Amino acid sequence: EGAKGKVVDGGLLPDANGKEPSPSGQTDGSKWQKPRISRKSLMKCCLVKWIIASTTQQGPDSSDSDLELSMVRHQPEGLEQLQAQTQFTRKELQSLYRGFKNECPSGLVDEETFKTIYSQFFPQGDATTYAHFLFNAFDMDRNGSIRFEDFVLGLSVLLRGSVTEKLRWAFNLYDINKDGYITKEEMLAIMRSIYDMMGRYTLPSVRDDSAFEHVEKFFQKMDRNRDGVVTIDEFIETCQKDENIMASMQLFENVI
């Protein structure tokens, strides 16, 4: 199926068919391996760039056994279980963990860290509100900090998940108060935060009212029974059927 079937890593949504590259596509008969973490496609993701930069500053790899020991010490679930739960290879998890531990010796990321990361990658705009929303989407148990496990599970969905998994994650991002519904106000708040972060250099140039127009149009399509809120089923169904929405969800491609 060639390049068309490849997942666009780093996008909120892969291309239309959204399949993982198939093992049979390999030419050298060896067991199919997922792309290495250093692949350019993965590097679109700001959170991965942040971690990898930290890993490279640290110099040569510490030995695997050291890493596993610290992994077990800091992470009750350990490497094996995370490998089973995510789409990352063992090596990728080790790279991610090494960088994570370097940046966050406590083993936890807080909201301020997200704000710092995103203001570095989007200096031309104001990233604080978007970083706040994104942090809340990763902070599943709402306790104000993200453990390595939660961080990696989120990244795995965003970078390598199926279309439906990514849409579920996006729904969770838009559902700011986590009540299971998206209101027009919530959708507008997220869109505005993205436009704010992208700054005035966004192309096509962003007018103040464009986030509002964007949301008006989408919300109308998604709220199928006109009850003023969008459910997860309405959200997934509309996104999968509507090419324009799918395309514009790619706005997320460079903001995770």
Residue 166 pLDDT more than 70? Answer: yes
- pLDDT tens sequence across 221-232: 999 999 999 999
Q: Distance (Å, rounded) from C-alpha 225 to C-alpha 236?
A: 15
- For residue 171, count other CB atoms closer than 10 A to its CB: 21
- pLDDT tens sequence across 192-250: 998 889 886 655 555 567 788 889 988 999 999 999 999 999 999 999 998 877 776 66
For residues 135 and 114, the answer to whether their CB atoms sit within 8 Å is yes
Q: How many helices (H) and strands (E) does the chain have?
A: 12, 4
The residue-averaged pLDDT of 88-117 equals 92
What φ, ψ does residue 20 adopt, rounded to 5°? -70, 150
Report the pLDDT value the prediction gives residue 33, as an integer from 0 to 100.
Answer: 42
Distance of CA 64 to the CA centre of its chain: 27
Can you give the pTM of this predicted structure? 0.74
Domains of the chain: 162-255 (1.10.238.10)
Q: Distance (Å, rounded) from C-alpha 82 to C-alpha 156?
A: 10
Q: Could you tell me which residues come within 8 angstroms of residue 53 by beta carbon, excluding any fewer than 6 positions away? A: 99
- pLDDT tens sequence across 25-70: 434 444 434 434 444 555 568 888 888 887 666 554 544 545 554 5
For residues 199 and 193, the answer to whether their CB atoms sit within 8 Å is no
Retrieve residue 27's tokens.
Answer: 């030419």
Report the pLDDT value the prediction gives residue 214, as an integer from 0 to 100.
Answer: 82
Report the pLDDT value the prediction gives residue 194, as an integer from 0 to 100.
Answer: 87
Residue 128 pLDDT more than 90? Answer: yes
